[in-house]
Structure 1
Amino acid sequence: MSEATHGVTTGAVARRLGVSPTTVRSWEQRYGIGPAVRASGRHRRWMPQDIALLEEMCRLTATGVPPGEAARVVLGQQPDTLREETPLPSAPEADEVSQGEGREPGSGNGLPLGDVRQECRGLARAAVRLDAPSMEALLQQVIDEHGLVAAWEEVMVPTLHAVGRKWESSDDRYVEVEHLLSWQVSTALRRAAVAKAPTAKRPPVVLACVPSEAHTLPLEALAAGLAERGLPVRMFGGAVPAEALDAAVRRSGPAVVVLWSQARSTASHALARHVAGTSFGLRGARTTPLVLLAGPGWAGPPPGDGLLRPGGLREALDVISTVYRDPVHATEV
């Protein structure tokens, strides 16, 4: 079905723009910015010219223009002198909403996104506007519709990387965008993990960043993915001291330990081998955990016995799921 011929739904428009469907409906009800065509006389179908008006609304409101005034400009009810009276591009993101990479429909407001899912562009738009409610709604929708792994790999990670690249290349601008986006992603992942946390008592998967490593989002994604598969998790977060990690492993008796390292400077193969050799359990039936070395910091020679290096979130989930199908590890405690 062609968008130019048949239009798109309100939900699809909202995802493209990175706003909530409620916002789109509110602009229509309050300011008359609505679709020219309604299927069967009732359902909204947004045509390209309608979407262009909404994109201009997003551009103006992102620069601080009140929605009512922005609507008057968009609908031509007030001369374009409003643009001259209102100091539009004062923030870096405002400049790039209206020029360069951010001009095309569905773009990420100037972020270097490339060829990505439409939901990714919508999330980028919402992030640049610091629109937390829209980010929250879009992230939840993506997880619900596509599952945790696809949401992480195809929407969250590309947007996070785009914001990071923009920050690095723009004299520390966009720092607030990255912080808010990271927080919203973390919130969505934790909510997903809690919503599907298993109740059966089985040896857990211990997740921890190595000492001096503070990047926890990939582990939070793994925690949510494990919960989605009904597997128990103990999340210890960032920069876990070696002594604390040793105590956590001995006290929890995990089937698997995942150690995250973002950079080679934080990866400690000696620590990983120590964890892999840690035994626990009753005398005569003691066991050791499988250790997964996750993250780019572990790149290099193949790991030793008891150590595996998964290639990404999906592979890590599959490896851990296989461990729990092994009756030796799946015995309830």
Structure 2
Amino acid sequence: MLVTPPRVALVSTGGTIASVGRDRLDLTGYAEIGDMRAAGALLAELPELATIARIEVVELPNVPSHALGLDGALAVARTARRLAADPEIAGVVVTHGTNTLEETAFLLDLACPPGTPVVVTGAMRPATGLSADGPMNLVNAVRLAVAPAARGRGVLVLLDDTVHAARDATKTSANRLSAFRGGELGPLGFVEGDGEVRFHHAVEPWAARGAFDPAGLGPLPRVDVVVSYLGADGALVDAAVAAGAAGIVSAGTGAGYPTPEETEALERAAARGVVVCQATRVPTGRVTPRPEAVAGGVVAAGDLNPWKARLLLALALTRTRDAVEIQRLLSR
């Protein structure tokens, strides 16, 4: 009996996975060329995908991910949410540059209700590079998108055979194929060499997952990130307020400690109605909320890195300025 493969929507946004280098050994300078292949060209080189799924391509503008603004990321989120809501589509795969992949994947996790799998993938080597990783990443992303075990887990990130939760995935190497890590929780699972998808633990529930519909959102409120360092004063905090920031994420040292001068500036900002989110510049660990701080308009990022906390705070500010409600969305 002939079984019809499931439908998978492929949302193409460009990035290294589609990039063309000068030659097969150009693994670093290809971005300067700015040439990218269309998704159809990538699929033409992967006839094996036809045995896994029927791929329907949705082409969005091909841009390097470091050039993708919030408007562009919201367009990806709107597209993914719309496709995931189609009962005829078994899964959605988004190809994306790795520089800001973790941020767009996190935004998708905020925008797409758990259910139909949404998988974000990319590559560390260009499409023309010797031993390019993009083709296998794309195959495995499709395998993951149609896997029954992937349903209900929120947005997933797949590179180097490894599955991460979008909330936790972060790029930890500028060059290596195994660039992405899942924080202290580690990977959720793997796509094995024979195509089997194996999960080792579940995704923790989270109030903000799928909670924001980007369809009706205009430009997001301005939220700036201020990174602390030895001897930092409050000039950058004051500059963010002067630029019109509705929120500020403070990437403090250790468990979330800005300098005394930065603290004074953040207190001035909070007094003016700016919502302050305290995060840490440290790769892992948690900034714990303090009730007295929340009462004063200062929330804690928990285990979110500053870049992801910024996105969640910006979306939250489209609904409320209540620090208690924003803290609920940030907390896991």
Same fold (TM over 0.5): no
The alignment's TM-score, normalised by the length of structure 2, stands at 0.34
Bigger Cα Rg: 1
The alignment's TM-score, normalised by the length of structure 1, stands at 0.34
Q: Which has the higher helix share?
A: 1
Q: Which has the higher strand share?
A: 2
Higher relative contact order (CA 8 A, sep 6+): 2
